[in-house]
Structure 1
Amino acid sequence: MRLKRLFMLLSIGFIITFLAACTSGGEENSPGTKQDKASSEKSVNFVNKENIPTMDPALATDESSFAFLRSTMGGLYRLNLDGKLVPELATDHEVSADGLTWTFKIRENAKWENGDPITANDFVYAWRRAIDPATGSEYGPYLMNNVIKNATAISNGEMSPDQLGVLAEDDFTLVVELENPTPYFENLTSFGTLFPLNQKFVEAQGDKFATSSDTLLASGPYKLTNWTSTSDSWELVKNDNYWDADTVQMDKIHFDVVKDPQTAANLYEEGSVDRVNLTSDLVDQYSGNDDFVTIPNTFVYFIKFNQKANDALANKNIRAAISRAFDKEAIVDEILNDGSIAANGLVPTGFVSMPESREDFRKVSGDLVTFDKTKAQEYWKKGLSEIGKDKVELELLSDDDEATKSIVEYVANQLETNLPGLTVTIKQVPKEQRLDLEDAGDYQMEVARWGPDFEDPYTFMSLFTTDSGNNKMGYSNAEYDQLILETSTTLATDNEARFNNFVKAEKILFDDAAIAPIYQNARAELVNPKLKGVPNKPVVSAYEFKWLDIKE
Structure 2
Amino acid sequence: MKNYKFMWLMVIMLVLSVFLAACGDEKESADNAAGVEEEVTEGSEKELSQVLNLVEIAEIASADSAIAEDAISTKVLNNVTEGLFRVNQEGLLAPAMAEEDPEISADGMTYTFKIRDAQWSNGTPVTANDFVYAWQRAIDPDTASPYGPYLMAGMIKNATEIGEGKAKVTDLGIQAEDDKTLVVQLERPVAYFLSLTSFATFLPLNEEFVTEQGDEYAANSDAMIYNGPFSLADWDGTGGWKYVKNDMYWDAAAVKLDEIIVDIVKETSTALKLYEQGKKDRVILTAEYAMQYADDPNIINEVETAVFYFKMNQLRDGKPTPLANADIRKAIARAFNKEELANVVLANGAKAANFLVADDFVLDENGKDFRDYSGDFTVYDVKEAQAFWEKGLKALGTDNVTIEFLGGDAESSKKQQEWFKAELERNLPGLTIKLKEVPSAVRLELDDTSNYDLQATGWGPDFQDPISFMELFVTGSPQNKMGYSNPAYDALIESTKTTYANDPIKRFEMFAEAEKILLEDDAAIAPTYQRGGMFLRNPDVKGIAINPFGSDFSYKWMYIEAAGK
> Is the structural similarity TM-score above 0.5?
yes
Q: Are residues 1:323 and 2:333 paired? A: yes
Q: Are residues 1:520 and 2:530 paired? A: yes
1:420 to 422, 429, 444: 429
Q: What SS does structure 1 have at the residue aligned with 2:323?
A: coil
TM superposition shift of 1:36: 4.5
Residues 400 and 430 in structure 1, CA contact (< 8 A), matched pair in contact too: yes
Letter paired with 1:513? A
Q: Are residues 1:33 and 2:41 paired? A: no
1:70 to 65, 71, 78: 78
Q: Are residues 1:403 and 2:412 paired? A: yes
Residues 48 and 560 in structure 2, CA contact (< 8 A), matched pair in contact too: no
Q: Which moved further from structure 2: 221-230 or 110-119?
A: 221-230
CA separation of 1:148/1:539 partners in 2, compared to 1, >3 Å: closer, same or farther?
closer
Paired residues for 1:2-21 under 5 Å: 2-8=3-9, 10-11=11-12, 12-13=14-15, 14-19=25-30, 21=32
Q: Are residues 1:385 and 2:394 paired? A: yes
Q: What SS does structure 1 have at the residue aligned with 2:177?
A: strand
Residues 11-45 of structure 1: CA deviation (Å, up to 9, x unaligned): 411343454745xxxxxxxx733254578652122
Q: What SS does structure 1 have at the residue aligned with 2:114?
A: strand
Residues 534 and 547 in structure 1, CA contact (< 8 A), matched pair in contact too: yes
Residues 150 and 478 in structure 2, CA contact (< 8 A), matched pair in contact too: yes
In the other structure, the counterpart of 2:95 is: 87
TM superposition shift of 1:80: 1.1
CA separation of 1:209/1:407 partners in 2, compared to 1, >3 Å: closer, same or farther?
same
Q: What SS does structure 2 have at the residue aligned with 1:365?
A: coil
Whole-Å Cα distance in 2 between the matches of residues 137 and 17 of structure 1? 27
5+ residue gaps in structure 1?
Answer: 23-30
Residues 7 and 452 in structure 1, CA contact (< 8 A), matched pair in contact too: yes
In the other structure, the counterpart of 1:460 is: 469
Whole-Å Cα distance in 1 between the matches of residues 282 and 364 of structure 2? 36
Q: Which moved further from structure 2: 287-296 or 265-274?
A: 265-274
CA separation of 1:271/1:226 partners in 2, compared to 1, >3 Å: closer, same or farther?
closer
CA separation of 1:57/1:37 partners in 2, compared to 1, >3 Å: closer, same or farther?
farther
Q: What SS does structure 1 have at the residue aligned with 2:9?
A: coil
TM-score by length of 1: 0.95
Q: Are residues 1:240 and 2:251 paired? A: no
5+ residue gaps in structure 2?
Answer: 16-24, 42-46
Letter paired with 2:493? I
Residues 35 and 42 in structure 1, CA contact (< 8 A), matched pair in contact too: no
In the other structure, the counterpart of 1:264 is: 271
In the other structure, the counterpart of 1:224 is: 232
Q: Which moved further from structure 2: 178-187 or 415-424?
A: 415-424
Pairs aligned (count): 541
TM superposition shift of 1:404: 1.2
CA separation of 1:292/1:229 partners in 2, compared to 1, >3 Å: closer, same or farther?
same
Letter paired with 2:361? F
TM superposition shift of 1:489: 2.0
Whole-Å Cα distance in 2 between the matches of residues 7 and 35 of structure 1? 40
TM-score by length of 2: 0.93
2:439 to 411, 430, 433: 430
Q: Are residues 1:372 and 2:375 paired? A: no
Q: What SS does structure 2 have at the residue aligned with 1:33?
A: coil
1:492 to 480, 496, 501: 501
Q: Which moved further from structure 2: 434-443 or 493-502?
A: 493-502
Letter paired with 1:301? F
In the other structure, the counterpart of 2:18 is: none
Residues 547 and 553 in structure 2, CA contact (< 8 A), matched pair in contact too: no
In the other structure, the counterpart of 2:353 is: 343
In the other structure, the counterpart of 2:132 is: 124
CA separation of 1:254/1:140 partners in 2, compared to 1, >3 Å: closer, same or farther?
same
TM superposition shift of 1:291: 1.0
Whole-Å Cα distance in 2 between the matches of residues 143 and 35 of structure 1? 47
Residues 36 and 49 in structure 2, CA contact (< 8 A), matched pair in contact too: no
Residues 469-515 of structure 1: CA deviation (Å, up to 9, x unaligned): 11000100001111111212222111111111100100110110100
TM superposition shift of 1:254: 1.1
1:147 to 151, 155, 158: 155
Letter paired with 2:422? N
1:99 to 100, 108, 112: 108
TM superposition shift of 1:538: 4.8
Whole-Å Cα distance in 2 between the matches of residues 373 and 437 of structure 1? 31
Residues 204-258 of structure 1: CA deviation (Å, up to 9, x unaligned): 111111101121011111111111222x221111111111111111111111111
In the other structure, the counterpart of 1:27 is: none
CA separation of 1:273/1:149 partners in 2, compared to 1, >3 Å: closer, same or farther?
same
Q: Are residues 1:299 and 2:300 paired? A: no
Letter paired with 2:63? M
Letter paired with 2:6? R
TM superposition shift of 1:64: 0.6
Letter paired with 1:406? K
Whole-Å Cα distance in 2 between the matches of residues 348 and 173 of structure 1? 36
Q: Which moved further from structure 2: 444-453 or 400-409?
A: 400-409
Q: Which moved further from structure 2: 308-317 or 31-40?
A: 31-40
Residues 277-301 of structure 1: CA deviation (Å, up to 9, x unaligned): 1110101111111111211111111
Whole-Å Cα distance in 1 between the matches of residues 339 and 512 of structure 2? 24
In the other structure, the counterpart of 1:52 is: 60
Runs of 4+ in 1 over 6 A off after TM superposition: none
Q: What SS does structure 1 have at the residue aligned with 2:281?
A: strand
Residues 20 and 32 in structure 1, CA contact (< 8 A), matched pair in contact too: no
2:456 to 412, 426, 447: 447
Whole-Å Cα distance in 2 between the matches of residues 280 and 99 of structure 1? 47
Residues 290 and 347 in structure 2, CA contact (< 8 A), matched pair in contact too: yes
2:166 to 154, 158, 162: 158
2:510 to 483, 497, 501: 501
Q: What SS does structure 1 have at the residue aligned with 2:11?
A: coil
TM superposition shift of 1:267: 2.9
Letter paired with 2:282? R
Q: Are residues 1:545 and 2:555 paired? A: yes
Residues 361-408 of structure 1: CA deviation (Å, up to 9, x unaligned): 123311011111011011111111112111111100001111111111
Residues 55 and 280 in structure 2, CA contact (< 8 A), matched pair in contact too: no
Whole-Å Cα distance in 2 between the matches of residues 389 and 167 of structure 1? 59
2:280 to 238, 255, 273: 273
CA separation of 1:17/1:63 partners in 2, compared to 1, >3 Å: closer, same or farther?
closer
Letter paired with 2:27? I
Whole-Å Cα distance in 2 between the matches of residues 339 and 155 of structure 1? 41
Letter paired with 1:543? F
TM superposition shift of 1:8: 2.9
Q: Are residues 1:533 and 2:528 paired? A: no
Letter paired with 1:343? A
